[in-house]
Every structure is written in structure tokens, then in C-alpha cells.
Amino acid sequence: MSSLTDLSMLELAAKLASREVSSVEATRASLQRIAQVDPKVRAFLRVDEAGALKAAEASDARRQAGSPLSALDGVPLGLKDIFLTEGVETTCGSRILEGFVPPYDATVVRLLKEAGLPLVGKLNMDEFAMGSSNESSAYFPTHNPWDLTRTPGGSSGGSAAAVAAREVFGALGTDTGGSIRQPAAFTNTVGLKPTYGRVSRYGVIAFASSLDQPGPMARTVGDTAALFQLIARHDPLDSTSANVETPDCLTGLEDGVRGLRLGVPREYFADGMDPEVAGTLRASLEELEKLGATLVDVSLPHTKYALATYYLLSSSEASSNLARYDGIRYGLRAKDARGLKELYTQTRGQGFGAEAKRRIMLGTYALSAGYYDAYYLRAQKVRTLIREDFTKVFQQVDAIVSPTSPVPAFKLGAKVDDPLSMYLMDVYTLPCNLAGLPGLSVPCGFTQAGLPIGMQLLGRPFDEARLLRIARAFEREHDFFRRAAPV
């Protein structure tokens, strides 16, 4: 493994600033690492070698002239294939968008380019971000660098696997019900799901518009904070973008947890959790207490309804958002269709995979005239109750601590034929999305078999800086991020 690819983003940025290393060298190291391990990991759908090297050369020229665009100027990054990228095929992991080349950049992609980061390529994902294992990708499943027979999680599994395998220094993912945090927990990486509205969704291919949120994935808490600061901007092109100041998450990152009250929700430590995950989480809680935090037993009573609420609402929004893929405007068009109706049905039948079809059908049913009140409207009311649970708890505590996933990474193929079992993988992450809150997963240990375990932190709206500070206090006591995956 190249020693360059072992560096964190901030470590590489320091070497770029001192001119000890060039961006071209770092980008070539990343590309060489991809060539070496990606045939086994399969994190990338496509690599933009020419574009990345061109951006790296421009970064080196700016460094030489003493005018870098940002502290991370020249640090190579990967993008989940859900972000529109001008001139680069963007498929959202689906056959129905095969061959689609966007004419413009998503806002977060534009911000990264304006900060000078070379974008190495597009990363694999569950089709339209629907899945918890990356197995619903229309192209191929991604493998977990810690055990190639296991999933890296989903839907941002390609992003997590690429970071864990040292193929890129960081990546962007999206989180609709845990799709940044669960893969982070499975791969010994850090994943931040920002507050809804904190990061622009403009140019992000939609799954469920009231739940989707882009966020950073990296190997350290500091890298995650630095990357988050680049993309957390108000965007007038996104009507749901919050007009709040960009946070300074790095200044107070080392302030520790002394004096903070951390809630431990009893509903998140229920039956069904893997014993090693439960034991590691309880040891982590004791460690936070030793570092000066106060643990508070709290209750989120409507958590038991979150799974059903989430899948009703997200599937309803998906059925509406995915109606645009009709074979007329962009992407796949069925050949030999005789008439408009046949064009619609054949294009959608050929282009969507089984999971996308399942959710479109469920959502269409929930929104239908006879069932709207019984399902969709009732789910929205329960969503309000879930949000109120969090509001009450945050009157008592500064943050909430829980497992990220009830189990470590599971075997590829183990749940692909059991959708309900797959949906349960998000049971601890999706309430945060329903409430629009920030959530973060940080590595907290390993099973006896060497599989990573993640700890989840949930915070008040727009309080990402506090979550990063808590995560950094825990990270300081360990060397998890220095442990390289055995791939």
C-alpha cells in the first residue's frame, strides 16, 4: 500500500501546503490504489482519471503561486453516483439512467470543485439509494474491505468501501434513513448525516425529498469536519436549504465532553442487538463517562413506529420522484415499443430493479385515493410524534448516544431475498431522518472476527459541531482510524 494513501485528508493537506507532496502525486497514488484493490472491492462505477489529474495539476499550480482555493485544495475525493457531475456519466446505480451525462454540477460538486479538490470518480450505490447492502445496484455489489464476503452497507456502500480501502481520502454520500451512518459503521469510517437543509440537495438525484441529505465520509473525525465545512452552504437553488451560517467545526473540535449530558435511549438497546455490538457500545458509554460526560437514561417512546412510518413516507415520495423516468426525457428508452403506454411500461420494467419497483408499488398504493388517509396521512402524524420525542429529550441532554446498527456487517446474499430483514438494518438510524436531525457514526471497536462496530451520536438541529466534538473526544482515546482494512 502506498504510504501516501495512508494519510488522512488533513495530514495530506498539511503536506500539500508545505509542498512536501504534490496533488498530482496524491492523485496518482489514489488511482494506483484503485487499480490495485478495486477489482476485489468494486467500489467504483467509473473512474475519471483524466479529469482528476487535470484538477490536480491546476491545484499544484495554485499552491506554487501561493493561492490555494481552500485548506483541502488538491486532496482527491470520491463521489457517490447520485450527484450530478458535469460531463461524467451519472446513473444513481440504475439501468434506467445508463448513459445519462449531466450538463451541470450538483451544488455540492460545484463547491468541491471551487475548493480545488480533484474528483476521482463515481462510487457504487444501491439503486436510487434504496437499500442497506449495496446489493440493489444494477451493476454489481460492492464488497467490504474488512471481509470481502460481507456487505459494506448501503446505500452509500461504495463511498464507505472506497474510503476504508484507502482508494480515496474522503467521499460524499447521501443519507435518507441511515445510508451514510450504517456503511460507516460497517467499514470503520466516520460518516456525518447533517441536519436536513444544512447541505444543498440541488443536483442530487431524488429518492425521498423530505428525508435525503448529502454528507461527508472520511477516516477521521477531523477530516469529516473539514469536508463538512466545505459543503455546508445556503443554496438559493434548493428551496429547502436553511439560511444559516456555515459552522466552524474545527476550532472547538478538541474541547472534549466534560460537562456534557448524553442521553442513552432505552428503546435503542432492545432485544435483537448482536451481543458483541451491545457489549462494545456499553463499554464505549462507560468510556465517555470517564472522559467527563454524564449519562442520562431517556425514552423515545414512538421509536417502535419509526420503521413503518419511514417506509410508508419514503416509498410514497419515491413513487412520485421516480415517475419522471419514462423513456422520454433522459436515460433508458425501451426499443421496439409500439405506442406511448408501451414505451412507459417497457422502459420502466426494463430500467428499474426489484427493490425500486417494490418501493414504487408500495408508495403508489399508500398515496392512492382510498388509502391516503389510512397510510400516508397517518404516517405523517406519527412522524410529528417522533420529532416531538426528540424535542423533549433534548431539553434534558446535549446529545444522544446509541448503536449505529444492531449487527456488524452481514454476508452478501444473506438478506437479499428477505426485504423486511434488510429494512430492519436501519432501525436505529432512520428516526433521525424523520426528525430532520444531525447524526454521526464513529468507529468504537471490532468484533472478535475483526468486523468494525460503530457508535451513533444524534444532536439538536444544526448542532453538528457538538457531535463532531464528542466523536473526536472518543477518537482521541483510540487508534481505530489507523487500522487498515486487510484488503
| pLDDT tens, per residue, the chain with 487 residues | 448 999 999 999 999 999 999 999 999 999 999 999 999 999 999 999 999 999 999 999 999 999 999 999 999 999 999 999 999 999 999 999 999 999 999 999 999 999 999 999 999 999 999 999 999 999 999 999 999 999 999 999 999 999 999 999 999 999 999 999 999 999 999 999 999 999 999 999 999 999 999 999 999 999 999 999 999 999 999 999 999 999 899 999 999 999 999 999 999 987 789 999 999 999 999 999 999 999 999 999 999 999 999 999 999 999 999 999 999 988 899 998 999 999 999 999 999 999 999 999 999 999 998 899 999 999 999 999 999 999 999 999 999 999 999 999 999 999 988 888 888 889 999 999 999 999 999 999 999 999 999 999 999 999 999 999 999 999 999 988 889 999 9
> How many angstroms separate the CA atoms of 345 and 341, rounded?
6
Examine residue 444 and state whether it is found in any structural domain, yes or no.
no
Examine residue 437 and state whether it is found in any structural domain, yes or no.
no
Examine residue 267 and state whether it is found in any structural domain, yes or no.
no
Other beta carbons within 10 angstroms of residue 271's beta carbon come to: 5
Roughly what angle, to the nearest 10 degrees, separates helices 9-17 and 23-41?
150
Cα pseudo-dihedral 36, 42, 43, 46, rounded to 10: 90
Active site annotation includes 239 = no
What's this model's pTM, rounded to 2 decimal places? Answer: 0.97
Examine residue 238 and state whether it is found in any structural domain, yes or no.
yes
Examine residue 81 and state whether it is found in any structural domain, yes or no.
yes
CA-wise closest residue to 136 among 426, 417, 421, 424: 417
Active-site residue identified among 132, 159, 179, 405: 179
Active site annotation includes 179 = yes
Question: DSSP character for 144?
Answer: B
Examine residue 462 and state whether it is found in any structural domain, yes or no.
no
- Three-state secondary structure call for residue 267: helix
228, three cell numbers? 463538512
Q: What are phi and psi of 241, to 5 degrees?
A: -70, 130
Question: DSSP character for 266?
Answer: G
> How many angstroms separate the CA atoms of 347 and 325, rounded?
8
Active site annotation includes 155 = yes
Active-site residue identified among 8, 30, 80, 156: 80
Other beta carbons within 10 angstroms of residue 385's beta carbon come to: 14
CATH number of domain containing 152:
3.90.1300.10
Burial of 370 (0-12, 13-18, 19+ CB in 10 A): exposed
8 A C-beta contact, residue 129 and residue 92: yes
> How many angstroms separate the CA atoms of 55 and 30, rounded?
14
CA-wise closest residue to 303 among 406, 455, 434: 434
Strands 399-403 and 261-265: parallel
CA-wise closest residue to 76 among 115, 43, 120: 120
> Which residue range(s) make up the domain with 29?
4-258
Q: Residue 89's Cα: distance from chain center in Å?
A: 20
Active-site residue identified among 133, 136, 137, 155: 155
Examine residue 89 and state whether it is found in any structural domain, yes or no.
yes
Peptide bond into 8 cis (omega under 30): no
Examine residue 86 and state whether it is found in any structural domain, yes or no.
yes
CA distances from 49 to 35, 104, 173, 258, 399 (A): 11, 19, 20, 46, 41
Helix (H) or strand (E) holding 433: helix 430-435
Other beta carbons within 10 angstroms of residue 279's beta carbon come to: 14
**How many structural domains comprise the chain?**
1
